[in-house]
Amino acid sequence: MGAHQDQVRGFAKYNIELNRRLFDKLSGLADAERKKDMGAFFGSIHGTLNHILLADRIWLGRFAVAIPSLSSLTGAALVQEFSSLRQELCTEFDELYAERRATDQVISNWAEQLSDDLLAATMSYQNSQGHLRSHPVWIAVAHMFNHQTHHRGQVTTLMHQLGCAPGVTDYFMYV
């Protein structure tokens, strides 16, 4: 197994663990607090968590089209078409958490399938503005995990503002 494969699998495990920790902490907040518009890019904690799930499913959908041999994506809840990056997938927190766990398992299984050859291959897709993009798979993989981390950071800021300490979220501390 190559270093890139190890890294992708490590990020998939980190993703599962951090999402579990955050959702478990957030389950202690009232729904109104999770849905309160606090001025974040996606408004609320709920809106931001929904966006992360939507974006993960969009990226997994792109990978499924670009690399049809990935059996881990067969039958998964993927997003091929969407109206907005604010499109709400789940209105209720419990449903959002269940869908997050299901997608995290798909991501873990998908990460196990990625070989160094697949990571080095070129993928093509249309971005959200309809522009054709082509680049090595590893760049899109890195972006997907970085995107999750970026928005989870926003969630932790919102949690702090509500007096809900998220705990340590650094990847280095996780490892």
Mean pLDDT of the chain, nearest integer: 95
Confidence of residue 1 (pLDDT cuts 50, 70, 90): low
pLDDT > 90? residue 4: no
pLDDT of 20-69, one tens digit each? 999 999 999 999 999 999 999 999 999 999 999 999 999 999 999 999 99
In the chain, % of residues over pLDDT 90? 85
Asked if 3 and 133 touch (Cβ cutoff 8 Å), the reply is no
Asked if 66 and 138 touch (Cβ cutoff 8 Å), the reply is no
Inter-residue long-range contacts of 62-71, CB under 8 Å, 24+ positions, other chains counted: 62/123, 62/125, 62/140, 63/110, 63/123, 63/137, 63/140, 65/125, 66/123, 66/124, 66/125, 66/137, 67/118, 67/121, 67/123, 67/137, 70/110, 70/113, 71/113
Determine the average pLDDT of the residues in 1-9.
84
**What whole-number distance in Å separates Cα of residue 155 and Cα of residue 14?**
16
Asked if 114 and 106 touch (Cβ cutoff 8 Å), the reply is no
- Which domains are delineated in the chain? 3-174 (1.20.120.450)
Given this model, what pLDDT does residue 2 score? Answer: 76
Determine the average pLDDT of the residues in 90-106.
98
Predicted TM-score (pTM) above 0.75: yes
Confidence of residue 158 (pLDDT cuts 50, 70, 90): very high
